[in-house]
Every structure is written in C-alpha cells, then in structure tokens.
Structure 1
C-alpha cells in the first residue's frame, strides 16, 4: 500500500486554533504530513507582512506533534512542490477556495479547510489594534490637574 503524502499550506501568522485544526485535519488524511510555511517574501507579494517573522512561524510548526516535516513555501504555484515531494493531498484554508483546483489535474486531492467565522490572523490583528487604540485613547484623554498653590 502506498504511503499517502499530505501537504498543508499556510502562513500561520499569529498561530491560532484554526491553524491547529487545519494541520490536525491534514494529519488525518494520510500517512506523511508536510506543512509548507509561507516565507515573509512570499506573503509580502500579495498582502501586508506577517506580524511573526518566518523563522519563528516555522519553529512553531516544527514544534507541533502532527507534522512530519515543516518546510519553507516560497511560491503560490504548487506544481513543482507536488511533483518533487510526490504530494497526494493538498490542504489549505477555504479563503483560497478554487485557487488550487489546478492541482487536481496532477492527480492531487485538494481540500479547502473551512476556517469558520471569527478566528483568523487578520481578525486577531484587527482586535489587537482596536484594543491598543482604546488603551491609548484612555491614557491620553484624562483631565489635566490644576496646579497646586
């Protein structure tokens, strides 16, 4: 029986429970789990820079129980990765739905993991920003005491 190789793709910025669920889901789809972590250069090619640097994001993924291997992901075109690593299954968040259907032509099963509402790195960044903004407003908007005589 063939060893089924699963590849989970992501940025994994501000690591959260949906990242963990997607990786765990990938683990259940095959025998060998490889997680591709997008490099800072790759992420910056299509959105704002990640809050957590690549080396730290890679170390977080390497420290998890489920992945057999964590590797840098330097491109959004996964044709070569699929061929070079003999990938059978590709998993990515459903915010990319449809983007990787071309991998099916290479015999790869493609799964768009449902992230669900609310939890994403972008949402976490916004929440942190909003809380910080309120904190600054509260610290800056205070009465000026009268000078003592």
Structure 2
C-alpha cells in the first residue's frame, strides 16, 4: 500500500485552535504530514503583513507533534510543491474554497478545512484592535483644563 503524503498550507498568524484543528485533520488523512508556512513576503503579496513574523510562526508549527516536516511556503502556486514532494492530499482553510481545485488535475485530493464562524487571525486582530481602542479612548477624550491665571 502506497504511503500518502499530506500537505497543509497556511499563514498560521496568531496561532489559534482552528490552525491546530486543521493540522490535526491533515495528520489523520495520510502517513506523512508536511506543513507549509507562508513567508512574510508571500503574505504581503495578497494581504496586510502578518502580526507575527515568519521565523516565529514557523517555529510554533515546528514545535507541534503532528507535522513530520515544516517548510517555508513562498508561492500560492502549488504545482511544483505537489510534484517535488509527491503530494497526494492538499489541505487549506475554506476561505480559499475553489482556489486549488486545479491540483485535482494532478491527481491530488483537495480539502478545504471549514473555519466556519469560529476563530480566525483576522477576527482576533479586529477584537484586539477594538479592545485597545476602547482602552485608550478615555485617555484621549478628556476635557482640556483651562490655563491658570
């Protein structure tokens, strides 16, 4: 029986429970689990920079028990990744739904992991920003004292 290689792709910014669930899901799909962590340069090519630098994000993922290999991900085109690493199964968050269907032409099973309405790095960033804004508002909005005469 052929060993199945699974590739889980992500930015893994502000690492949270849905990231862990997606990696665990990938582990259950095959025999070898490779996790690709998007570099800062790659992320900045399509959205705002990650809050956590690449070196820290990849170190966090490397510290997990499930991945067999953790690699930098430098492109959104995974044709070469699939070919070079003999990927059988590709897993990514469902916010990318449909984007990687082209890999099916190479015989790769593609799974879009459902984040649903749960935790996401984008939601976490917004929550932190909103809480910070509330916290500093009282110090920014105050009466200006009249000068002493």
User: So what's the TM-score if we normalise by structure 1?
Assistant: 0.94
> Considering only aligned residues, what root-mean-square deviation do their CA atoms show, in Å?
1.5
Q: Matched residues in 2 for 1:129 and 1:20: separation?
A: 24
Instruction: Using the TM superposition, give the Cα deviation of residue 116 of structure 1 relative to its aligned residue in structure 2, in angstroms.
Output: 1.6
Q: Secondary structure at the match of 1:92?
A: strand
> 5+ unaligned residues in a row in structure 2: which ranges?
none
Q: Secondary structure at the match of 1:47?
A: coil
Q: Secondary structure at the match of 1:91?
A: strand
Residue aligning to 2:40: 40
Instruction: Using the TM superposition, give the Cα deviation of residue 141 of structure 1 relative to its aligned residue in structure 2, in angstroms.
Output: 3.2
Q: Matched residues in 1 for 2:99 and 2:145: separation?
A: 59
Q: Matched residues in 2 for 1:4 and 1:118: separation?
A: 29
Residue aligning to 2:16: 16
Residue aligning to 2:132: 132
Q: CA-to-partner distance for each residue in 1:25-78, whole Å, 9 max, x for gaps?
A: 000000000000000000000000000000000000000010001000000000
Aligned residues: 148
Instruction: Using the TM superposition, give the Cα deviation of residue 146 of structure 1 relative to its aligned residue in structure 2, in angstroms.
Output: 8.8
Deviating 4+ runs (over 2 angstroms): 138-147
